[in-house]
Amino acid sequence: MSRALFIAVVAALIMAGVSVLVVSGSSHNDAPLIAMDPQANNTDVYAYVSPANPNAVTLIANYIPMEEPGNGPTHYLFSDDVLYEIMVDVNGDAREDLTYQFSFKTSVGVITPNTFLYNTGPIGLPPNTGDPTSQYTNLNIHQSYSLTGVVGDRRTSHDRQALLHNARVAPARVGPVSTPASDYGSLAAAAIHNFNPTSRVFVGPRDEAFYVDLMAAFDLLGGFTNPQRPAADTFSGFNVQTIALEIPKTRLAQAGDTDGIIGVWASASRKQINVLRPNGNNALHSGRWVQVSRLGNPLVNELLLPFGAKDLFNASEPKNDVANGFDNLIVNPGASQGPAALIPLINSLTSCTPTDGRIDLDLIFLKGIDAGTAGALAAAVPGLQPFADAGGNQDTQQPGGPTPADMLRLNYNVQPSAQQSRSPLGFFGGDPAGFPNGRRVGDDVVDIALKGGGGAVLHVLGFISCAASLGLSDGVQSNDMPYLTSFPYMGTPHEGYRHEHDHGGPSPLVVAGMGIGSGVLVGGLLLGGVAFMSWRRRRSPV
């Protein structure tokens, strides 16, 4: 029988409702083509002057998206096989000057060998909290990390300093018996370690600080303009793994910063291995690090870059962003990506959003806002005067101007805003200490990106007339959990035993009880990653 006839037969059977159980031979190599890698998934980067300690800057990198708290804390440990890094460029050449490297070591069955039990009783403070290597009591799985500081090129420089070794990670917030609410704060605080001597670090689980109505965004932005239900934070009730650093401004100056402006990004890398193993060498000791995840500004990879550029972006360095064409993709999205890209899509909502020649996005994402533009912004939005006074956040240390690259740019001479004048909308709320001047935990980057992407900055400066851009929002204006007012600022993680997810209520097509699996990449769904989800149990509200 010919192939065409066979197909016709099968098609007829399908139409007749018979499930055609013609099974595939398993005898070929059918390794998965695309697999999620949550432990190397860098979800967010934050950089801002510490409100509780304005002589220092807080740098945060979060990993492992959408951790379902009840799903067993063993699943959300950092990977021992991944190198996690936070980079700082102090002079605007898009190369790291300072890098903080984290490598983890996990020991399972410390108390009761041969079991995967997380704890054997209520988790208690370490016997010697002043010693970073002292571990929590009753913890059966120990995760600890080494922190290395590198000056210069993080792969080739010999200027490396071991800052911490075998430092404890904060435990998971399991439940009222294992980690009573009254105790958890002190347990987490015991995971803040000092080094150097006035720098601090925290590593451990936190509440997912990012908030967005992903399903509204996913529904082709239709949920924003034609909501059929109240907006709901898709990330509510989920946790994330946090690496947080507090670095004194003097340390940055010591590293060569002269203008108070730094560029920040983070990454995750895995070892490559060799198919052929000469002398049976253990690959883990001989392979080189290959970067598999990279993040600076929020939502660049997810929203601004096309589907086909994501892998390259994740593997690339900021210094090569122009060579890799990312600048063109960001500044001229219409011409370079077509009508399905985010900016043209936003234009279909506003009808006044320029889709090419976006000098505003060039400044916000690739160069930093220069002093002149900062002044013009402050003239239009008086609250932004401190940003203008500080000279904007475009680095001035390169004679020919900064190298265009995606990095989160912070002018740390702008003081943290007082509580009453803080706005999660950052610049669009007249708050000079919020995104795009760095990014604070709690800044509503989705709304800021929608407004900014829609052309709000151009509108405010009078280049275009597009008031509609100011009104863009996903409807979710705040996180589900409060943030902390002191380091590490990221909120207390949700409890495994008891927590809620807000999905805006059941929809006619989605039956109550279904949640979104971990391994979902925000932008992957939005603009098309082929996302193969692993399922997570949704806990019903108590």
Partner 1 sequence: MGKARLKKWMRTLSYTLALLGLVVIVLAAFNLLLQKGQGDETIVDVTVQSQASTDLLVERFQRRLMNRPEDQKAYVQLGGAYLQKAREMGDLSYYLRAEEALRKALELEPSSVSAMNLMGALAMGGHQFQEALEWAERSLKLDPRNANAYGILGDAQTELGQYEAAFGNYQTMVDLKPDLSSYARVAYARERMGDVEGAIEAMQMAVAAGPAKGEATAWALVQLGNLYFNIGRLDEAAEHYESALRAFDSHYLALAGLGKTRAAQTRYDEAIKLYEQAVAIIPQPVILAALGDLYARTGNVDQAKLQYDTVEFIARLAAINQVVYNRDLALFYADHDLKLDEALDLARRELAVRKDIYGYDALAWALYKNDRLEKAAESITEALKLGTQDPNLYYHAGMIYYSLGQHQQARDYLERALTLNPSFSILYSDDARRTLAELDREAALSGNQEGPALGLAKGVAR
Range 213-252, binding partner 1 (CB under 8 A): 218, 220, 222
Min dist CB 221 to partner 1, Å, is 11
Residue 541 makes contact with partner 1 by CB under 8 A? no
DSSP string, 167-183: EEPPPP---TTTS-HHH
13 HSE (CA, 13 A, CB side): 11
* Subset of residues 301 to 360 that bind partner 1, contact rule: CB under 8 A: 307-308, 311-312, 315, 340
Q: Which 8-state DSSP code applies to residue 163?
A: E
Helix (H) or strand (E) holding 411: strand 408-411
Cα 81 to its chain centre, rounded Å, is: 20
Min dist CB 525 to partner 1, Å, is 8
For partner 1, the closer of residues 66 and 187 by Cβ is: 66
Q: Name, in order, each residue with C-beta under 8 angstroms of 17's C-beta and a sequence gap of 6 or more.
A: none
Helix (H) or strand (E) holding 67: strand 56-67
For partner 1, the closer of residues 275 and 418 by Cβ is: 275
Q: Is residue 324 a contact partner of residue 300, using CB atoms and an 8 Å limit?
A: no
Residue 32 makes contact with partner 1 by CB under 8 A? yes
Residue 3 makes contact with partner 1 by CB under 8 A? yes
Nearest to 61 by CA among 293, 313, 302, 309: 293
* Subset of residues 74 to 133 that bind partner 1, contact rule: CB under 8 A: 74-75, 79-81
Nearest to 293 by CA among 524, 84, 67: 84
Min dist CB 10 to partner 1, Å, is 6
Min dist CB 454 to partner 1, Å, is 20
Beta bridge partners of 408: 264
Residue 531 makes contact with partner 1 by CB under 8 A? yes
Q: Binding residue for partner 1 (CB under 8 A) from 126, 263, 455, 519?
A: 519
For partner 1, the closer of residues 60 and 216 by Cβ is: 216
Beta bridge partners of 150: 99, 160
Q: Binding residue for partner 1 (CB under 8 A) from 52, 54, 72, 109?
A: 72
Residue 182 makes contact with partner 1 by CB under 8 A? no
For partner 1, the closer of residues 20 and 52 by Cβ is: 20
* Subset of residues 282 to 311 that bind partner 1, contact rule: CB under 8 A: 282-284, 287, 290, 292, 307-308, 311
Q: Binding residue for partner 1 (CB under 8 A) from 34, 226, 351, 420?
A: 34
Spatial separation of the C-alpha atoms in residues 180 and 227, rounded to whole Å: 39
For partner 1, the closer of residues 75 and 229 by Cβ is: 75
Min dist CB 311 to partner 1, Å, is 7
For partner 1, the closer of residues 268 and 441 by Cβ is: 268
Q: Binding residue for partner 1 (CB under 8 A) from 271, 375, 461, 477?
A: 271
Mapping DSSP onto H, E and C, the string for 182-209 reads: HHHHHHHHCCEEEECCCEEEEEEEEECC
Provide the phi-psi class of 442: left if phi over 0, else alpha when psi is between -120 and 50, else beta.
Answer: left
Q: Is residue 111 a contact partner of residue 136, using CB atoms and an 8 Å limit?
A: no
Min dist CB 285 to partner 1, Å, is 12
For partner 1, the closer of residues 23 and 418 by Cβ is: 23
DSSP string, 244-262: EEEEEHHHHHHTT--SSEE
Q: Write the CA distances from 311 to 82, 94, 125, 292, 315, integer angstroms.
A: 17, 20, 42, 8, 6
136 HSE (CA, 13 A, CB side): 31
Stretch that binds partner 1, among 29-37, 93-101, 147-155, 440-448 (CB under 8 A): 29-37
For partner 1, the closer of residues 127 and 528 by Cβ is: 528
Q: Binding residue for partner 1 (CB under 8 A) from 70, 518, 522, 523?
A: 518
Provide the phi-psi class of 408: left if phi over 0, else alpha when psi is between -120 and 50, else beta.
Answer: beta
For partner 1, the closer of residues 79 and 199 by Cβ is: 79
Q: Is residue 531 a contact partner of residue 525, using CB atoms and an 8 Å limit?
A: yes
Residue 535 makes contact with partner 1 by CB under 8 A? yes
* Subset of residues 36 to 65 that bind partner 1, contact rule: CB under 8 A: 36-40
Residue 11 makes contact with partner 1 by CB under 8 A? yes
**Two tokens at 63?**
């990993």
Residue 275 makes contact with partner 1 by CB under 8 A? yes
**Two tokens at 490?**
């990221």
Min dist CB 206 to partner 1, Å, is 19
Spatial separation of the C-alpha atoms in residues 542 and 380, rounded to whole Å: 48
Stretch that binds partner 1, among 22-30, 107-115, 409-417, 471-479 (CB under 8 A): 22-30
Q: Binding residue for partner 1 (CB under 8 A) from 24, 156, 351, 419?
A: 24
For partner 1, the closer of residues 182 and 279 by Cβ is: 279
Burial 50-87, CB ≥16 within 10 A → b, else e: bbebeebbbbbbbbbbbbbbbbebeebbbbeebbbbbb
Residue 153 makes contact with partner 1 by CB under 8 A? no
